[in-house]
Structure 1
Amino acid sequence: MTRVPSLSPLPHPILVRPSRDEDVPAIAALYAHHVRTGTASFEEVPPDAAEMARRRADILARGLPYLVAECDGALAGYAYAGLYRTRSAYRFTLENSVYVDAGMARRGVGRALLMPLIGICEAAGYRRMIAVIGGSDNQGSIGLHAACGFRPAGLLPGAGFKFGRWIDSVLMERPLGAGNETPPEEVRG
């Protein structure tokens, strides 16, 4: 567990911890809001809690982190790292996902989640993290990733179609540990 002081006034500090089974309904509700109202996810129909539980179990079964942030006892956000691609040559590269409760945006929750997520993945021997950000106008996510050491890596114009418009995918990346400067040790689980 990590306690992170807030970057903006909050009644209590942000508590970051590994997710638990009982967090899944709140995670599903938070994600459903983003699916219905935003472009961070290219899903158009929110998955139910059972599907979110299955997805979380898949991440955890790979030995990858799935974190939640709490503030004043309520879920403020969640983040996890998954495989970037399944081909074996990508085995040292992960993709991150970070979702923050709309009422907690720009209050330090995203950074409180992303920095420990990066540290856990570095400690496990991974070498690169990719962010695939929905919408070139998603300045909150782009700014969060830049503040956490990610650099622009590309733009896929009009990669998705949601809410009656084409939406870009912004690619950002950051090295983990030595990045691609040295040959990797096999990932430690």
Structure 2
Amino acid sequence: MQFEPGDRRRVLPRHLRPAAPVEVFSYTIRPVRATDLPHVREIYNHFVSNSAVTLDERRSSIPYWREKFALLTRLNLPFLVAVSPAGVVLGYALAQPWAGKNAYRYTVEDSIYLGPGAGGKGLGAALLQALIDACEQIGIREMVAVISDSGAEASIRLHAKLGFEEAGRMGRVGYKFGRELGTVYMRRALRPSGRRRGLFSSSRGR
């Protein structure tokens, strides 16, 4: 049967039309690869240029991320990405040394950033939990978060949801976009399931 142009008699009422398929937000969390670094850089630089979530003012470079990747690989610290089924990097999470002294070898600082459109879907919590699990497996005992106090509510809620407690605040220690900024410190004790010599054992020649 053919319908003449403008013939609306056979159009189904709205409530009888098939519903549009719901797009499911799905992803895989895995260790970062060298080929992911340009995408990680773009995610981070978005926040450098557009927010005070990071107090960095200069956009990062590919060599910077290659050096960080090499350092974390050498220290056996987790650097994770969340990737869509199409291979798009949606966000990343990493653990880096809290300080350069050997006595801090069982403490790390976390860093988590999500790409545009990936927030509010549970991905941040999934990445942070995966990072915690990976750190516990290699014997890390303490994880610290340093959060800018400008627009920090979402990050504070995320960390609190996963067991972090506020450990202190420092006011007016940063300056960006013409504003004085402070930092919020949060911490969580981990339950290490593995053993290791510590983050800096390789640099000490052991």
**TM-score when normalising by structure 2:** 0.80
Matched, 1:19 2:32: yes
Matching residue of 1:106: 120
Partner residue, 1:45: 58
Helix, strand or coil: the match of 2:117?
helix
State the partner residue of 2:203.
none
The Cα of 1:72 is off from its aligned counterpart by 3.6
Matched, 1:124 2:133: no
How many Å apart are 1:14 and its aligned residue?
2.1
8 A contact 1:136–1:170 mirrored in 2:
no
Task: Give the superposition deviation at 1:102.
Answer: 2.5
- 128-137 or 118-127, larger mean C-alpha shift: 128-137
Deviations 1:64-118 (A, max 9, x none): 0100001242111000001001112111111000001121111111111110110
1:137, CA displacement in angstroms?
3.0
Match of 2:41 among 25, 28, 46: 28
The code of the aligned residue for 1:68 comes to V
Structure 1 residue ranges without an equivalent (≥5) = 1-8, 179-183
Contact 2:53–2:151, Cα closer than 8 Å, also in 1: no
Out of 174, 180, 186, the position equivalent to 1:160 is 174
Distance 2:62 2:158 in 1: 27
Higher alpha-carbon deviation: 68-77 or 126-135: 68-77
The number of aligned residues is 176
What is the percent sequence identity of the aligned residues?
Answer: 35
Relative to structure 2, which stretch is displaced further, 102-111 or 14-23?
102-111
Give per-residue Cα distances to partners, 1:104-133, cap 9 Å, x unaligned: 111111111110110111111111000001
Which structure carries more strand by proportion?
1
> What is the match of residue 90 of structure 2?
76
* Residues 53-64 of structure 1 mapped to structure 2, 5 A cutoff: 53-64=66-77
Question: Which contiguous aligned blocks of 4+ residues in structure 1 show a shift greater than 6 angstroms?
Answer: none
CA RMSD across the alignment: 1.9
Q: Secondary structure at the match of 1:42?
A: coil
Q: Which residue number corresponds to residue 173 of structure 1?
A: 187
Structure 1 Cα separation of the partners of residues 56 and 198 of structure 2: 32
Is the alpha carbon distance of 1:118 and 1:157 closer, same or farther for their aligned partners in structure 2, counting shifts above 3 Å?
Answer: same
Runs of 5+ consecutive residues of structure 2 not aligned to the other structure: 1-21, 200-206
Partner of 2:164: 150
Amino acid at match of 2:49: R
For residues 136 and 171 of structure 1, do their structure 2 counterparts lie closer, same or farther at Cα, with a shift above 3 Å needed? farther
Give the Cα–Cα distance (whole angstroms) in 1 for the partners of residues 103 and 55 of structure 2: 26
